[in-house]
Structure 1
Amino acid sequence: MQYDDAIKNRLRRIEGQIRGVYTMMDSEKECKDVVTQLQAIRSAVDRTIGLLVASNLESCIRMELKKGNQPDNVIREAVDLLVKSR
C-alpha cells in the first residue's frame, strides 16, 4: 500500500506533539496539562488510524470487485483492525 503525504504529515504533527509533552514534563507543567496533551495525541492517532484503514479498505474493495469477488472478508478485516486499535 502506498501512503499519501497527508497521512505522513499527520504523523509528523503527532511526533511534534509528543516532543511537546517531553518539553512540558521537563518544565514541570501540571499533570492535568500533560494529560490533556496526551489525550489530544491519542485522538490524533485514532483519527489517523481511521483514515488509513478507510483508504486501504476502499482500495481493497475496488480490487475485490474488479476480480468479481464480494468484498465481505475485506470489510470484516477492516472492522477488526479498527476494533483492535481501540
Structure 2
Amino acid sequence: MKCDKKIINRLKRAEGQMRGIQKMMEEGQECYDMMIQLSAVRSSIDKIMGIMAGENLKHTLEHPLADEQLQVEKVAQAMQMIERK
C-alpha cells in the first residue's frame, strides 16, 4: 500500500503539534496544557493508524491474491491492525 497525500498531510500536522509541545516545554508552560496537546497528538496518530489499516484492508479485498490461503492471511493481518488501533 502506498501512502497517499492525505496521510502524509496528517503526519506533517502531528509533527507540527509535537514541535509545538517541545516549544511549550522550553517556555515552561503548564504541564496540563502540554498534556492536552499530547492527547491531541495521540488522537491524531490513532486516526492515521485507522486510516492506514482501513486502506490496507480495502486494498487487500479489491486486489485479491491468486493464493487463496495467503489472501486469507492478509485479510486477517489487516483485521488485526484495525483491532490493535
| TMscore range, shorter length | 0.7 to 0.9
For the 8 Å contact 2:57–2:79, the answer to whether it is kept is no
CA contact under 8 A between 1:14 and 1:45: conserved in structure 2? yes
Shift of 1:68: 8.5
Report the Cα offset of residue 69 of structure 1. Answer: 4.2
TM-score by length of 1: 0.84
SS of 2:54's equivalent in the other structure is helix
Q: Which residue of 1 aligns with 2:60?
A: 60
Instruction: Provide the aligned length of Structure 1 versus Structure 2.
Output: 84
Q: Could you say what secondary structure the match of 2:62 adopts? A: helix
Q: Structure 2: which 5+ residue stretches go unaligned?
A: none
For residues 62 and 68 of structure 1, the distance between their equivalents in structure 2, rounded to whole angstroms, comes to 14
Residue identity matched to 2:83: V
Distance 1:29 1:78 in 2: 40
Residue of structure 2 equivalent to 1:4:
4
How well do the aligned residues superpose, as a CA RMSD in angstroms? 2.0
Deviates more, 1:51-60 or 1:67-76: 67-76
**In structure 2, C-alpha distance between the alignment counterparts of 1:51 and 1:12, rounded to whole Å:** 15
- What TM-score, normalized to structure 2? 0.85
Q: 8 Å contact 1:61–1:74 — kept in the other structure? A: no
Unaligned runs of 5+ in 1: none
Q: Answer whether contact 2:53 2:78 (CA < 8 A) is retained.
A: yes
